[in-house]
Amino acid sequence: MQPQLLPLIGAAAFAASLLAQAPIPALSDASFRALHAQVVPQACETWETIPWRVDLLAAVREAEATGRPLFLWTMNGHPLGCT
Amino acid sequence: MLREDYVPVALDVWYEERRQDEAGAFYRALVAQREGLRAGHTTQGFYVARPDGHLLRGWNNRDPDKLARWLREHRKASEPADERTTAPAAATEVDRRFARRLPEGAVVADVFTRITDAEWPARDRGWMDEAMRKATGRDHLWITAEEIAALARREVPATLARRIARFHLVDDTRGEPPMWRQGELAEVALAFEPIADGTAPPALAGHARLATGDGKRRCEAALRGEVAIDENGRLVRFDLVARCAFAGEGEFTPHAPPGTFTLVVAMRLAPPDGQDRVPPQAARDLDEYLRAR
């Protein structure tokens, strides 16, 4: 067997093993409701109560007009979304 | 203090570092003043600056005491600058390559992620471990007008099912997660259940399997949800849960629990609080996000 075929065969076998796996247990209606209530925050955290601006230039103009400094919170991935 | 004494801004550096417009130039000139910032390294962090672009302090440290101390120190420091250096013009041309706008007629769902069951190793990083293990990941799901019309017909579009699987069944509780590539989606099924009676909201059920080629990162998810559309065709409810048997981590999401752990992804329609203006993480590649092949 040619060595370069081995990775392809391995990948195909792995994909086939995925599809051959046992069925995923379904979520019951009760579990759905319980998990939704558990994971969706029921109250805002402190940082969420801050009126964050997401438009930098609009924020700069607001800072100029009100005489306040800018506070930037910057992340790889939006701080208010996926970080 | 942030509300009254500052104009607080939250930004994704991926966009700000790249955009070739006034906002991008302002951002880059501002962060370049940060002491110790190395070229080619991330500019993420905290910055206090005057509106003319003069940096008063910049740092990349999550110590809450340091944050509070420096916010107190600088809150009165916004005297007018001696000379304007990098202040942007009022009207500017936006670099459309890095502008993300919700498609016409689309709606936004909040996406929350949490590890609910895991065999965590002994703690070794103090408060960081404590915070990360209890953390809730956050993102947004965009549902297009065409997809809403299909949901109204009790059909789940393949684009929506694949988008949920590839871009939202991810472990973002410790940082930026790797999204699933097209070939890593082995299977996704999401459909309306038969109507049991006329009183319950229409229920969705399904499952998904995803894995990297080497099998080091994988996800098997059971999905269930409820959808409601009003008489005007507006999506007024989109509650969805994915219970994932998850394994593995990404380059920017280290310290996952060893072995398989339970990751729960829960969605609901976003309230109109402004944070829904933040695009989905995977919308950096907008075409791929929407087409979700």
HEC-encoded secondary structure of chain B: CHHHHCEEEEEEHHHHCCCCCHHHHHHHHHHCCCCCCCCCCCCCEEEEECCCCCEEEEECCCCHHHHHHHHHHHCCCCCCCCCCCCCCCCCCCCCHHHCCCCCCCCEEEEEEEEEEECCCCCCCCCHHHHHHHCCCEEEEEEECHHHHHHHHCCCCCHHHHHHHHHHHCCCCCCCCCCCCCHHHEEEEEEEECCCCCCCCCCEEEEEEEEECCCCCCEEEEEEEEEEEECCCCCEEEEEEEEEEEEECCCCCCCCCCCCEEEEEEEEEECCCCCHHHCCCHHHHHHHHHHHCC
Q: For residue A13, which residues of chain B lie inside 8 Å, CB to CB? A: none
Choose among B125, B225, B132, B208: nearest CA to B170: B208
Q: What average pLDDT does the segment B185-200 reach?
A: 86
| Confidence grade of residue B39 (pLDDT, cut at 50, 70, 90) | confident
Identify whether the C-beta of residue B274 lies closer than 8 Å to the C-beta of residue A52.
yes
Alpha-carbon distance of B142 to B291, in angstroms, equals 12
Q: In the structure, what pLDDT confidence band is assigned to residue B271 with cuts at 50, 70 and 90?
A: confident
Indicate the domain borders of chain B: 13-97, 102-291
Contact assignment for A70 to B9 by CB distance below 8 Å: yes
Q: Do B11 and A78 touch (CB under 8 A)?
A: yes
| Residue in A11, A28, A41 closest to B112 by CB | A41
CB contact under 8 A, B78 and A52: no
pLDDT score, position A1:
47
Distances (CA, A) of B144 to B96, B268, B269: 20, 15, 13
The pLDDT value recorded for residue A5 is: 53
Task: Say how many CA atoms lie within 13 Å of B4 toward its Cβ.
Answer: 3
Chain mean position to CA A77:
9
Contact B189, B208 (CB under 8 A): yes
* The pLDDT of residue B122: 83
Higher pLDDT, A46 or B10: B10
Q: Which of B52, B205, B220 faces A26 most closely, judged by CB atoms?
A: B205
Nearest CB to A74; choose among B11, B140, B275: B11
What is the per-residue DSSP string for A9-54?
A: HHHHHHHHHHHTSPPPPPPPHHHHHHHHHHHS-SS--GGGGS--B-
- Inter-chain touch A18–B211, beta carbons under 8 Å: yes
**How many CB contacts within 8 angstroms connect chain A with chain B?**
231
Least confident among B53-62, B172-181, B257-266: B53-62
**pLDDT tens sequence across B77-129:** 555 555 445 555 555 688 989 989 999 999 999 999 999 999 988 877 777 77
